[in-house]
Structure 1
């Protein structure tokens, strides 16, 4: 059987299958495309690569009409976080729901029947046609890429298939058209193939994720890969001279010394029964980090267990400006998750991993095509300058009267989200229990 792999954050997907039939049509050369608008990149011909990580100008407001789809995406975010937390014993968690959904939505173009239904269920996309999902994904990707000239963001997709294979033209064209996917046939027996794929990943993540493929399985049919990269400077930056050593209480109750960044300014904040929220903007205010600090007596696990799309939307809507003294530790995390083992099956996606029952006939006319692996790798680093994730906003200061300044001290486990504010789309979400 041949296999299909998928990698996200980076997310990559590996397809495997049986014997090839003789009735396949060759993949046509891509049709000429019109000159792209700012922030977009045309699809590439096989054998070429284009770096979609860039500084985007000018500022163009993100306007997406599909509010319900965004709400479902955010529901998917918290369901995915719960599933990941359930199946990892690591203290820190960091995932990109955007990357996971982009890679699986590319694959959805080749799925049919119950296989496609289960993929939509896992992605919380039930009720949407593949055409609707494709159109939304293109609109979202292009909107995010042009949202902020002061923030670097890259969203890149690629398909790598065995050079002797014949892949269906509609599958390739859909992914070129809606996901700007780079498509390339490779000699999977060549010793250079691993370096070629990993080199693409390194370029798309500013070398934060340098390896996604260790070796190519001889039964591999295709790799589908998504990479999301984000680098934003705080609108109001922390001064390094104000950073000082403080104590952070780990998730297990033990303590450690950390470098705690220190800043007094006006931020949007809110409070619920379970946690306090603090929003810190990047660049021109298009992107932000929202920190969720559990209340005394509550844990990050309590927050994860109860948080959903509606509670998140209510919290964001209730954010109000206050003068805040922020104490936030520098932190860095690198994570990897085999999502095919338990995470995606727990979310309703089982049939696509079954070599006997999966229906990925939209990719190629081969026997037994199925998803073999879904690997998710991520990186995040937060310091005085801002945030870099493989996943500079200006805060308007307003007077708050003579009341005492509220202190927001992040000295215990917390959750954080990196999002685009006008759409509400979550790019990354993480849990930090140890620095």
Structure 2
């Protein structure tokens, strides 16, 4: 039985152009901003690709990578980046310290779940970056920095791909291909998450079932099933259920099921304050009979196309001011990213041992018979969130429209 695996990868390429523990208020504000950004970005994707496709991405990955770019940006370019990320109300020095703390906590050996999160910066040989930027990149973002010969693009591609392959446990083997020999910088941000459910599903209970993509489309999928007492919220104002499933390492997954015909209502109502309200309203005491599809999907997004919709546009134009990266010391200027892509991979399955499942599914000793479990069947489009902890930052967000589509 395989554990749940979630993986995110952000790749930004810049070219030469001719001519937890105790969280402080700053961390909480950054986490809240990541929530807001995630919900806005998800709606933007839906508006561009239509409502009939799955969505999956890491707002943490995108926010962190562009915060790194923002650290080397100046004037309006910098302002647009942090405003688009929802971080413009926080002092930039505190933003970098906040991400530093997230990296420290999430990748700590004390963190029980498997989280591998980091950054890699590849510089063309002979190109130097500002001493301050170099130091801050390594200090705040644990970025590894490499000198490569992009003129020999085959060798450069292999070096970058091997780095990504090693840090994503082989899940992404080729992130760059046909790299332009004039490339000046490549920035890679990755998040790899792997953990087991605290109370696994029993594989023998997984059965084929119908999933209603829309009024005209029904697909057969493997539905994982179990009965238990889950933390939950019934949001009558948005007409949806929220079910929380914990992982052994402390992370939690939220599955949000809109009532029939209420998908758009829920999507329109998803805001940062909505998630905050749900966090405060989660309760126990109700037994559910839960059915959730097994799921595997891979997504890819062109951020140069999407992020201008959130106000981050100048960084992708010749007007971008990225002089903080070089400190003005290079004769060859750094031009804006010619490629900014985000890739994510998701695999949700039963994950766990039969013994643990049996313990969870057993009744309370000596308890009087209670009401029958409330059936909650995720047989129609739903939303998915993965939080670093019950009150931690959002690592991933997804919208499952058709679980039979990879």
TM range (shorter): 0.7 to 0.9
> Which of 254, 265, 274 does residue 311 from structure 1 map onto?
274
Who is 2:9 aligned against? 10
Match of 1:406 in 2: 374
| Residue 244 (structure 1) shift | 1.0
What's the CA shift for 1:65? 3.7
Distance, in Å, in 2 between the alignment partners of 1:86 and 1:119 is 21
Would you say the 8 A contact 2:316–2:338 is kept in 1?
yes
Which 10-residue stretch deviates more, 250-259 or 224-233? Answer: 250-259
Superposition pairs for residues 211-222 of structure 1, below 5 Å?
Answer: 211-222=174-185
TM-score calculated relative to the size of structure 1: 0.82
Q: Indicate which of 110, 116, 123 corresponds to 2:85.
A: 123
1:282 — aligned with what?
A: 247
| Cα deviation digits, residues 197-228 of structure 1 (max 9, x gap) | 01111111112222221122133210111000
3-state SS, counterpart of residue 163 of structure 2: helix
The alpha carbon displacement at 1:158 in A equals 0.7
Where do residues 217-236 of structure 1 align in structure 2 (5 Å cutoff)? 217-236=180-199
Aligned positions of 1:76-155 closer than 5 A: 76-89=37-50, 91-146=53-108, 149-155=111-117
Q: Is the 8 A contact 1:338 1:375 kept in 2?
A: yes
Deviation per CA, 1:325-345, whole angstroms, max 9, x where unpaired?
11111111000000111x110
What secondary structure is seen at the aligned counterpart in 1 of 2:37? helix
Cα deviation, 1:123-167, whole Å, max 9, x if unaligned, reads 101122321111000011112223864411110111001112122
Superposition pairs of residues 24-423 of structure 1, within 5 angstroms: 61=21, 63-66=23-26, 67-89=28-50, 91-146=53-108, 149-190=111-152, 191-251=154-214, 253-272=216-235, 273-284=238-249, 286-299=250-263, 301-321=264-284, 322-341=286-305, 343-355=306-318, 357-364=319-326, 365=328, 366-367=332-333, 369-385=335-351, 402-423=370-391
CA contact (8 A) 2:184 2:334 kept: no
**Runs of at least 4 residues of structure 1 off by over 6 A?**
392-401
Give the Cα–Cα distance (whole angstroms) in 2 for the partners of residues 188 and 213 of structure 1: 12
Mapped partners of 2:233, 2:107: distance in 1: 29
Deviations 1:246-278 (A, max 9, x none): 111114631111111110111111111231100
Tell me, in whole angstroms, the C-alpha distance in 2 between the residues paired with 1:433 and 1:269: 22
Q: Which runs of 5+ in 1 are unaligned?
A: 1-7, 21-59, 387-391
The CA RMSD measured in Å over matched residues stands at 2.4
Q: Name structure 2 gaps, 5 residues minimum.
A: 1-6
Q: CA deviation at 1:422?
A: 4.3
- Three-state SS of the structure 2 residue aligned to 1:349 is coil
Query: How far apart in 1 are the matches of 2:267 and 2:171?
Result: 27
Q: What is the CA–CA distance in structure 1 between the aligned matches of 2:11 and 2:349, rounded to whole Å?
A: 28
Structure number having the greater helix percentage:
2
- Shift of residue 347 of structure 1? 0.3
Aligned-partner SS, 1:206 = coil
TM-score of the aligned structures, taking structure 2 as reference length = 0.88
Structure 2: how far apart are the matches of 1:147 and 1:327?
34
Cα offsets for 1:88-114 (capped at 9, x unmatched): 246111000011011111111210110
Task: State the number of aligned residues.
Answer: 380
- How far is the alpha carbon of 1:369 from its aligned partner? 2.1
Residue 371 of structure 1: how far off its partner (Å): 2.3
